[in-house]
Amino acid sequence: MSKNVLTVNGLDAAYGESKVLFDISIAVEERQVVGCVGRNGAGKSTLLKSIAGFLRPKAGTIESEGVDLIGRTAFAIANMGVKYVPQDKKVFSDLTVRENLELGSYASGDYNWDPVLVFFPKLKVLMDRKAGYLSGGERQMLMIGRAILGNPKLLLVDEPTEGLAPSIVSHLKDVFREISKTAALIIVEQNLPMICGISDKIYALNEGRMVAEITERDRITPEECEPYL
Amino acid sequence: MNVLRWWSGLLVAFGLLIVLRIFLPLPFNNEIVIFAVYVIGCNFLLGRVGFISFGQPAYLAIGAYGTAFYLYYVGTNPLVGVLMGILAGVVISTIVGPLFVRLRSDYFALVNLALAIIVFFMMQKVLADWTFGDDGLWFLTNMDPTPVIDITRPAGFYVFALFVAFLVWALYKYLDDSIFGACCLAAKINDDKVRFLGYNNFHIRLLAFVIANTTTALAGALYAVYLGFVSPEMTSAARAADPVVVTILGGVGSLYGPLVGAIAYTGMKDLISQAIGNWELVIGFLLVFIMLAGEKGIWGSLEPLLKRLVSRERPAAVAGPATTDAGVESR
Amino acid sequence: MIDPHLLLSGVIFGLSMGSIFFLMAIGLSLCFGLMRIISLDQLLYYAIGAYLTYTISSLVGNVWIGVLAGVAVSGLTAFLIERFVFLRIYARDITFSMITSFGILIGGIGVIKAIWGLVPRPVEVPIEAQINLLGTEIPIYRLVVIAIAIAVYWGIWLFLNKTIIGKAIRAGIEDVEHVEGLGINVYRLFTLTFVIAGAMSGLAGGLNAPLIMVDPNMGLEILAFVFMVVIIGGLGSIKGTFVSAFLVGQVVSIGSLIYAPLAQMAPFAIMLLILLIKPTGLYGSAMLKR
């Protein structure tokens, strides 16, 4: 039995009757950064949702360190250290930044916010602001900050840089590199320079199927990935 | 051939109803037919448009009082009375429809139930000078016998009601097969996509709302003529359950569900009321049970079996239009 | 012109009625906000609260103990129903919960009829005394009911804003999937919210019992008003529910002073008017969709 942080085998997923994913297999090793690219509607988000337990797959297996994830509730999967950061950048807008982080701590039992504030010093000054008033970049920081409480072993990040300014994108890139020292990441991303800069492996999806797997370090370049977008 | 096939289901269903007439007492049969007409509107709204309405008694009362006012104060012809009931249904649902169909389905349900209760208060108290409150309006002796079949007598009324019900079912079958029916279903599942196709959601829903509630008003008019009497009791909140229960019991969104549901419900009501007298207890938990057991209802569970039976006997027969067991959509 | 004494007692009457509406509607509203269900069975817990108040108070001779028993039993019933019924249907469409909870309500009324019979039961008013307010005699019990409702509002506000579980519930009202994604067992939040709602409905029934006759259909009788409160305030909004409960209470009370049938018609007219302007109620959010 592999001790991979994540092993997905032959995964099929569907929304109601319409099938979205066909026979997807991926493997993520400890502290590995895995990029996932593909066009809109290729099924990238569905893949992350299935892993995180928000969508029950039709077929296939999902395992983390030998433990079966299928059939577990989303909160149980999160508590096993597989945390999902959705694409919608929806923080709890009625709650302050502090309260948002408190919920992350409550869920994980980890009340040490120092790592979060080292990654995102800006959150310190925003602590008592309602999260609804944050900018897009600040929301993304808060969502990632909330998710890394409790030292997860795998982060599933859905299009983190979508619509963000270049300076924030490069900041996030550094943060992801830093996070990967302790955790594995699967990042769904359209920004090829950013994702190729940090990934150890790239999967490309198209119309619900796996069309490429790039593992050689020197082939992980925007030029190589371009055809899959 | 195609024409025959289109009508065959309807003819078989109503043929069976006529057969039922031989075995069961007349009042029971009359009750079933009116009840089925009452329920098909609710069934259509829930199954085709995705709106659950606990307010059907309101429209039932509007039809019944439309008929009753005419027969008590104005005329003597029960057929005209039924027409007045239908007219009242069209008018009221066209007035409230534009406001109601804009609402989300949750608000829609609550507002409709509130409407039923308000109509009850109106008939019981506010308009008591004309409706005589809880005493009700009695006009059985006001009605003139009608030519050919005398609908003021139960036996004649049964023939009339059966004929009306047949027409109603033909209408709903036609609607199900039409573009309009498809639009309703599409609007239920995904608002936006219908808009992209170039259809106006609001108009589709409004039309469905008016058709469904006018049918319900028609059932009210039939009740009024059949009983020769109306009272506010028919809109009481305790009875708001009836159409919803029968819809679920029969099978949501299926054409014949209301017929099967009405027979089962009326039958059970009679039997249980006689046996234990605690009707609510049984019907309430039955409703919960059906919902938890998969909400297909009696007809919804029978239909696939029947289809399989028919197609085994005649392998050449086409399976017919797609099954209509679109239950309450899951999220 | 209305006699000022009559007006004052009308206002107090309306406030006490609004208090009952609020206690009922807050549960419905919270359940909708967090779980996206319409829990019509709350009206059953209201009746259970009232009947327990009747039975216990006639046994021990103290209405307040009866009310406490009512709250406890309604909360317990709500807990059992949540475990055995709602837990299975959270994932379904909202109409599903509406029909199922309606079945529970109707079935529960049948159970009440089987236990207590059809005859309406009286409950004595625990505080008979009246207080003289600006020359008008006001029953103290009504003031106590108002005070309890305000205390409940304040308590719920504190719970939602100051405790971590309350914050999780508020976050869940915004987006329950994100709360679950953090690793919080949302089903426990659901159960807690449902039990709080049931207990509040039971409290409303117990407090209202001395003011009305306790009968099996009492839930159905108050149903229209509770709905109007929830709709006017906006489903899922606590503040909206509070405001609209007292608004509807006043409209019913003052309306009936002017012209009796207005008691029922006026709130309905206001509801239609508000929906015409804002289809999601005063404080309801249009984005509250999963």
If one compares B120 and C18, the residue with the highest pLDDT of the two is C18
Length of chain B: 331
Phi, psi angles (nearest 5°) of residue B42: -60, -40
Query: Subunits with at least 3 CB pairs below 8 A relative to chain B?
Result: C
Compute the distance between CA of residue B278 and CA of residue C114 in angstroms, rounded to an integer: 7
Compute the distance between CA of residue A169 and CA of residue B286 in angstroms, rounded to an integer: 57
Tokens of C42: 């709350």
Render pLDDT for B224-282 as a digit per residue (tens, 0 to 9).
888 888 888 877 766 777 888 888 888 887 888 888 888 888 888 777 777 777 777 88
Query: How far, CA to CA in Å, does B256 sit from each of B12, B37, B105, B303, C246?
Result: 11, 11, 24, 9, 46
Cβ under 8 Å to C: B residues 104-163:
104-107, 109-111, 113-115, 117-118, 121-122, 125-126
Residue B283 one-letter amino acid: I
The strand order across the sheet containing A6-15 reads: A18-28, A6-15, A59-64, A67-68
Share of chain B above pLDDT 70, in %: 87
B172 and B257 Cβ atoms separated by less than 8 Å: no
Nearest CA in chain C to B52: C95
pLDDT in the model for residue B321? 39
Q: Residues with Cβ < 8 Å from C211, sequence gap 6 or more?
A: C16, C20, C125, C141, C142, C145
If one compares C277 and A140, the residue with the highest pLDDT of the two is A140
**Over 90: is that where the pLDDT of C10 sits?**
no
Query: How far, CA to CA in Å, does C81 sit from each of B111, B308, C56, C198?
Result: 25, 38, 23, 10
* Contact call for A83 and C184, based on CB within 8 A: no
A137 contact C CB<8A? no
pLDDT in the model for residue B314? 52
Of A224, A80, A223, A76, the residue nearest A150 (C-alpha): A80
Compute the distance between CA of residue B166 and CA of residue A179 in angstroms, rounded to an integer: 70
Compute the distance between CA of residue A77 and CA of residue A85 in angstroms, rounded to an integer: 13
Render pLDDT for B292-325 as a digit per residue (tens, 0 to 9).
876 666 777 777 777 777 666 554 434 333 333 3
Phi, psi angles (nearest 5°) of residue C284: -70, 145
C264 contact A CB<8A? no
Report the phi/psi class of residue B48: left, alpha or beta, with left for phi > 0 and alpha for psi in -120 to 50.
alpha
Helix (H) or strand (E) holding A21: strand A18-28
For residue C106, the distance in angstroms to the closest alpha carbon of chain B comes to 5
Helix (H) or strand (E) holding B16: helix B2-23
Q: Map tokens 């609001």 to a residue.
A: B202
ipTM for the predicted complex: 0.88
Compute the distance between CA of residue C285 and CA of residue C290 in angstroms, rounded to an integer: 12
Low-confidence ranges of chain A (pLDDT < 70): 1-2
Compute the distance between CA of residue B155 and CA of residue B27 in angstroms, rounded to an integer: 9
pLDDT-derived band at B110, boundaries 50, 70, 90: confident
Share of chain B above pLDDT 90, in %: 10
Compute the distance between CA of residue B69 and CA of residue B136 in angstroms, rounded to an integer: 11
Residues of chain C with Cβ-Cβ distance to A87 below 8 Å are none
Compute the distance between CA of residue B42 and CA of residue B253 in angstroms, rounded to an integer: 9
Buried b (16+ CB within 10 A) or exposed e, C158-167: eebeeeeebb
A126 and A97 Cβ atoms separated by less than 8 Å: yes
Q: Map tokens 């359209």 to a residue.
A: A190
Residues of chain C with Cβ-Cβ distance to A108 below 8 Å are 182-183
* Contact call for C183 and A86, based on CB within 8 A: no
Q: Map tokens 């009272």 to a residue.
A: B231
| Average pLDDT taken over every residue of chain C | 87
DSSP C110-157: HHHHHHH-SS-B----S---EEEETTEEEEHHHHHHHHHHHHHHHHHH
For residue C99, the distance in angstroms to the closest alpha carbon of chain B comes to 8
B48 and B107 Cβ atoms separated by less than 8 Å: no
Query: How far, CA to CA in Å, does B301 sit from each of B250, B267, B317?
Result: 9, 19, 21
Residues of chain C with Cβ-Cβ distance to A147 below 8 Å are 182
Tokens of A132: 């609804």
Optimal mutation site among A73, A92, A102, A105, interface C, most CBs of chain C within 10 A: A92
pLDDT-derived band at C21, boundaries 50, 70, 90: very high
Render pLDDT for B198-240 as a digit per residue (tens, 0 to 9).
677 788 888 889 999 999 999 999 988 888 888 888 777 667 7
Tokens of A128: 């008592």
Domain residue ranges in chain A: 6-89+153-228
Q: Provide mean pLDDT across the span B119-147.
A: 79
pLDDT in the model for residue B328? 39
For residue B283, the distance in angstroms to the closest alpha carbon of chain C comes to 7
C177 contact A CB<8A? yes
Lowest-confidence region among B106-110, C152-156, C246-250? B106-110
pLDDT-derived band at C102, boundaries 50, 70, 90: confident
Compute the distance between CA of residue A90 and CA of residue A134 in angstroms, rounded to an integer: 11
* Contact call for C94 and B237, based on CB within 8 A: no
Of B33, B93, B78, the residue nearest B219 (C-alpha): B33
Residues of chain C with Cβ-Cβ distance to A94 below 8 Å are 170-171, 173-174
Query: Subunits with at least 3 CB pairs below 8 A relative to chain C?
Result: A, B
Residue A18 one-letter amino acid: S
Helices (H), B229-296: 241-250, 257-275, 279-292
pLDDT in the model for residue C50? 93
pLDDT in the model for residue B237? 62
Lowest-confidence region among B131-145, B200-214, C250-264? B131-145
Closest by Cβ to C99, choosing from B51, B115, B244: B244
Residues of chain C with Cβ-Cβ distance to A93 below 8 Å are 174
Q: What is the pTM of this model?
A: 0.84
Beta A33-38 vs A201-206: how paired, if at all?
A: parallel
* Contact call for A73 and C180, based on CB within 8 A: yes
**Over 50: is that where the pLDDT of C288 sits?**
no
A176 and A144 Cβ atoms separated by less than 8 Å: no
pLDDT in the model for residue B261? 84
Of A66, A24, A72, the residue nearest A205 (C-alpha): A24
Render pLDDT for A43-67 as a digit per residue (tens, 0 to 9).
899 999 999 999 989 999 999 988 8
* Contact call for A107 and C171, based on CB within 8 A: no
C96 contact B CB<8A? yes
For residue C34, the distance in angstroms to the closest alpha carbon of chain A comes to 13
Cβ under 8 Å to C: B residues 235-264:
236-238, 241, 244-245, 248
Share of chain C above pLDDT 90, in %: 44
Q: For A6-89+153-228, which CATH superfamily applies?
A: P-loop containing nucleotide triphosphate hydrolases (3.40.50.300)
**Over 90: is that where the pLDDT of B149 sits?**
no
Domain residue ranges in chain C: 23-217
Lowest-confidence region among B58-62, B178-182, C88-92? B178-182
Compute the distance between CA of residue B10 and CA of residue B28 in angstroms, rounded to an integer: 21
Compute the distance between CA of residue C176 and CA of residue B331 in angstroms, rounded to an integer: 14
Lowest-confidence region among A138-152, B108-122, B134-148, C39-53? B134-148
Q: Map tokens 């109503």 to a residue.
A: B14
**Over 90: is that where the pLDDT of C159 sits?**
yes
Q: Residues with Cβ < 8 Å from B106, sequence gap 6 or more?
A: C32, C38, C94, C95, C98, C235
pLDDT in the model for residue B192? 66
